[in-house]
Amino acid sequence: MPSTIPTLTLEDARRLITAAETKAEAIGQPMCIAVVDAGGNLLAFERMTNAWIGSIDIAQKKAFTSRAFDITTKDLGANSQSGDQFFGIHASNGGRIMIFAGGLPIVMEGKVIGAIGVSGGSGEQDHAVAEAGLARL
Amino acid sequence: MPSTIPTLTLEDARRLITAAETKAEAIGQPMCIAVVDAGGNLLAFERMTNAWIGSIDIAQKKAFTSRAFDITTKDLGANSQSGDQFFGIHASNGGRIMIFAGGLPIVMEGKVIGAIGVSGGSGEQDHAVAEAGLARL
Amino acid sequence: MPSTIPTLTLEDARRLITAAETKAEAIGQPMCIAVVDAGGNLLAFERMTNAWIGSIDIAQKKAFTSRAFDITTKDLGANSQSGDQFFGIHASNGGRIMIFAGGLPIVMEGKVIGAIGVSGGSGEQDHAVAEAGLARL
Amino acid sequence: MPSTIPTLTLEDARRLITAAETKAEAIGQPMCIAVVDAGGNLLAFERMTNAWIGSIDIAQKKAFTSRAFDITTKDLGANSQSGDQFFGIHASNGGRIMIFAGGLPIVMEGKVIGAIGVSGGSGEQDHAVAEAGLARL
């Protein structure tokens, strides 16, 4: 008999994005924000006015990466530099793996049920904006 | 001096998506809805509960296609079947071209300023939901 | 609050594959068999002795396609020929969409919780082997 | 007359996977495990419950890489860091090359007849689980 897991809803995703945008506005850096579900598939995405168009892809890939390995992309990156145990991981999964800060898993009842990915500023800014989104959930 | 064109805002995109979702709910078919700007770049995206995960990609590509050729994907499709003048166009642009209904250009003051792409039902349903989104603008 | 859905287990996937292989042996046609979960992500795969190596990819993509659109690839194919409403859909989703028989959704409690994809023979054979797999669940 | 080489069977692959999974359970880290034949083509794959979905791709690529160069991915990685003689090799073969631990060739009668690839934990864990699989053969 199949087991059950909690599911991330579109409504959840909207709240995450709104909270992240509020933080992005507060620091004055427009961002792209993406939310994926437990399967790593996109639920919702927004690009703020003047956010980089190159960030459209990166935000989505940070979200995917965080769910793909149940880890922040910041922590993954810290183990994926030349000489590290996961160096080269960014060549896997059809180029969908991002190894710099801005992607965070969404955890509920001890299970990763999705992830948020933010791109548009420095790694530190992206990570902070993603955290602000999670805080709302 | 550079000329100016009206710009589609994130706020516009949200209104388009909300209107499209209202229509999708009315016909009882969950959809993926994407909005791109004049550059063909994604502004906002939402996947409704139970919408097909295969539609995530298609909705975005329908929006891109509509802006890429300033035409509805329904009309483009009508000229892209085997034997038609544009047959094979779906292999161009890195596979981003969709040639069936659901993508519509967003026109303002006679200029195409973006596009909406909808996927999740029959071609007719997708087109109708996209039209409902446009009607709101 | 997140809703819950049934989850397809690795044990389920193994039983599906074993049943499908029994059928493939019965008709004397070696097959590749893939099972994906609700997120469209691969759970298990087997290639029978002498099955085509070109089928490794196709079996997995049939499974993905069936879950991506909650439909058999046979039925999807019937609507995706030149002139049909979904013609061109095989160019979407990064080339992962297969539009010929052999992919079937796995349904439990009215929800699609995954899919099976079979490749190695004629469309009819692939579909029959996939059905034999499902029958076991 | 063509020479003959031993062939890795699906039955072999299953035994390798089962042994690897036993080890993975023993160390409490769920894994994805893939086995390829002498042609580098996938024979069998399993994703254990709660294994990372990003590992589906990596396990298969580690197996391919090990057979592609008849070397463990751990040893290949040791020569593929920035400044090393094979730096950049992970961009070859369509992105199918993985340069961190977890892939091991399967050798019989002095010939490489396939490979196993494991992904789901640290590089050390992945390598140990792959070795446990090989030990069974």
Tens-place pLDDT, residues A72-92: 999 999 999 999 999 999 999
- Predicted pLDDT of residue A1: 41
What is the Cα–Cα distance from B11 to B17, expressed in whole angstroms?
Answer: 10
- Predicted pLDDT of residue C6: 83
Show residues of chain A in contact with B48, CB under 8 Å: 10
Handedness of CA C66, C72, C74, C76 (dihedral sign): negative
Please tell me which of the candidates B55, B81, B95 has its beta carbon nearest to residue C87. B81
The C-alpha R_g of chain B, in whole angstroms, comes to 14
Give D6's pLDDT tier (boundaries 50, 70, 90): confident
C117 pLDDT exceeds 60?
A: yes
Distances (CA, A) of C48 to B29, B78, C52, C53, D104: 39, 42, 9, 10, 22
Closest CA to D115 of D74, D80, D86, D81: D74
Give A3's pLDDT tier (boundaries 50, 70, 90): low
Residues 10 through 69 of chain C touching chain A, CB cutoff 8 Å: 12, 37-41
Spell out the SS3 assignment of chain A.
CCCEEECCCHHHHHHHHHHHHHHHHHHCCCCEEEEEECCCCEEEEEECCCCCCHHHHHHHHHHHHHHHHCCCHHHHHHCCCCCCCCCCHHHCHHHCCCCCCCEEEEEECCEEEEEEEEECCCHHHHHHHHHHHHHHC
Q: Are strands A32-37 and A103-108 parallel, antiparallel or unpaired?
A: unpaired
Q: Is C98 within a domain?
A: yes
Average pLDDT, chain B: 96
Show residues of chain B in contact with A39, CB under 8 Å: 53
Share of chain C above pLDDT 90, in %: 93
A57 pLDDT exceeds 80?
A: yes
Cβ contact A105:A66 at 8 Å = yes
Residue B121, SS3 per DSSP: coil
Q: What is the pLDDT of residues D16-66, one digit of tens each?
A: 999 999 999 999 999 999 999 999 999 999 999 999 999 999 999 999 999
User: What's the whole-number mean pLDDT along residues A44-56?
Assistant: 97
B·C CB contacts under 8 A: 58
C4 pLDDT exceeds 90?
A: no
CA A88 to chain centre: 20
Taking CB atoms and an 8 Å limit, are A39 and B53 in contact across chains? yes
A4 pLDDT exceeds 90?
A: no
Q: Is C4 within a domain?
A: no
User: What's the whole-number mean pLDDT along residues B52-59?
Assistant: 98
Closest residue in B to A9 (Cα) is: B49
Token match 């975005």: residue? Answer: B60
- Predicted pLDDT of residue B4: 73
User: What's the whole-number mean pLDDT along residues B106-114?
Assistant: 95
Q: Is C16 within a domain?
A: yes
D131 pLDDT exceeds 90?
A: yes
Cβ contact B76:B69 at 8 Å = yes
Q: Can you count the helices (H) and strands (E) in chain B? A: 4, 4
Q: How far is A65 from chain B (nearest CA, A)?
A: 17
- Predicted pLDDT of residue B6: 86
Average pLDDT, chain C: 95
pTM of the model: 0.95
Residue D51, SS3 per DSSP: coil
D89 pLDDT exceeds 70?
A: yes
Taking CB atoms and an 8 Å limit, are B41 and A53 in contact across chains? yes
C1 pLDDT exceeds 90?
A: no
**Which strands form D103-108's sheet, in the order they lie side by side?**
C103-108, C111-119, C32-37, C42-47, D42-47, D32-37, D111-119, D103-108
Structural domain containing residue B101: 10-136
What is the Cα–Cα distance from B4 to B39, expressed in whole angstroms?
Answer: 14
- Predicted pLDDT of residue C128: 98
Sequence length of chain B is 137
Give A65's pLDDT tier (boundaries 50, 70, 90): very high
Cβ contact A42:A100 at 8 Å = no
What is the Cα–Cα distance from D37 to C113, expressed in whole angstroms?
Answer: 31
Number of domains in chain D: 1
Token match 């034997």: residue? Answer: B83
Instruction: Name C111's bridge partners.
Output: C108
Q: Is C2 within a domain?
A: no
Determine contact: B77 vs chain C, CB below 8 A: yes
Q: Is C3 within a domain?
A: no
Q: What is the pLDDT of residues B66-96, one digit of tens each?
A: 999 999 999 999 999 999 999 999 999 999 9
Q: Is C112 within a domain?
A: yes
CATH of the domain at B102: 3.30.450.150
B3 pLDDT exceeds 90?
A: no
- Predicted pLDDT of residue B1: 56
Q: Which two tokens stand for residue C33?
A: 């068999």
Show residues of chain B in contact with A95, CB under 8 Å: none
Share of chain D above pLDDT 90, in %: 93
- If one counts every other C-beta atom within 10 angstroms of the C-beta of residue C29, the result is 18
Show residues of chain A in contact with D61, CB under 8 Å: 92
